[in-house]
Every structure is written in structure tokens, then in C-alpha cells.
Amino acid sequence: MNANRLSGLVFVGFGLLLFTVVIPWQVETVAYGWLKPRTLPRILAVFMVICGAVLAIWPPADRAGRDIRWARAALFAALLVVALALMSRLGFVLVAPVMALAIMLLAGERRPLWLILGAGGMPALIWLVVARLLERPLP
């Protein structure tokens, strides 16, 4: 079993754990709003299971271990930890666009349109879905 198949199976397991245990346990039922709070997380958990299964069944060609950029992966993880800590203090609206831009630059994206859409559009879409459609507060 190669690393791609193994990571696909890990995502399948994590998606199933989210769908069956974490979401029912952590998402409360509310009587207001037209979209139930569990709907979107469950859709995303199913999507994670499907993508993990596709990766496990049809993995891409293997790359040599020396091709893995460990420093970049560690920097990415550190960026997420710092961003989450800042988000709890400064809020989603201020931190999410900066975090999205930093992640995109770290991933090597340099096209201005994609940077604008990723740093401005995706946080705005997340805010719209969570704050407006689901009527749930963001940090």
C-alpha cells in the first residue's frame, strides 16, 4: 500500500467519523433558519469520504520521498495554528482574508485574479453561508 492509498483511506475514515460521531455530537439543532445547521457539514463529510475513496482506488503516480517539501508543510501547519489563534482574538472577518492569501502564496499561486478571489471571495462566501444562510456566529 502506498502513501496515496493510505491517506485516501484516512480521509474516508475521518469523513465517516465526522458524519456519524462528531457532527451529531457537536452541532446543535435549532428551530430557526431555513437550512439546518447539520446539512452543510454532513454534505462536506460525504464529499470528504468520496474524495478519499477516489484517492484510495485511483491514486496518482507515486513521487519519490525526496520530492516532499517538509519545511513547506511545517510552515503551512504553523500558519494554520497562528491563524486560528488570531481568529479567536481578532475575528474571522479580519483574519480569514490574510490567512487565505498567505496560504495561496505559500502554495505558489501568483495569478492576481486567483489571489483576489481566494483571499476576498472565499472568506466572503464562507461568511455568507455561515453567518447569513445558517444564521450561526463566526468567531
Q: Tell me the per-residue pLDDT of 64-100, one tens digit each, with 9 for 90 and over.
A: 555 567 788 889 899 999 999 999 999 999 999 999 9
Q: How does 17-47 read in b/e, with b if 16+ C-beta sit within 10 Å?
A: ebbeeebeeebeeeeeeeeebbebbbeebee
Q: Domain residues of the chain, as ranges?
A: 1-66, 69-139
Average pLDDT over residues 5-14: 94
What whole-number distance in Å separates Cα of residue 118 and Cα of residue 60?
26
* pLDDT tier at 1, thresholds 50, 70, 90: low
The amino acid present at 27, given as its one-letter code, is V
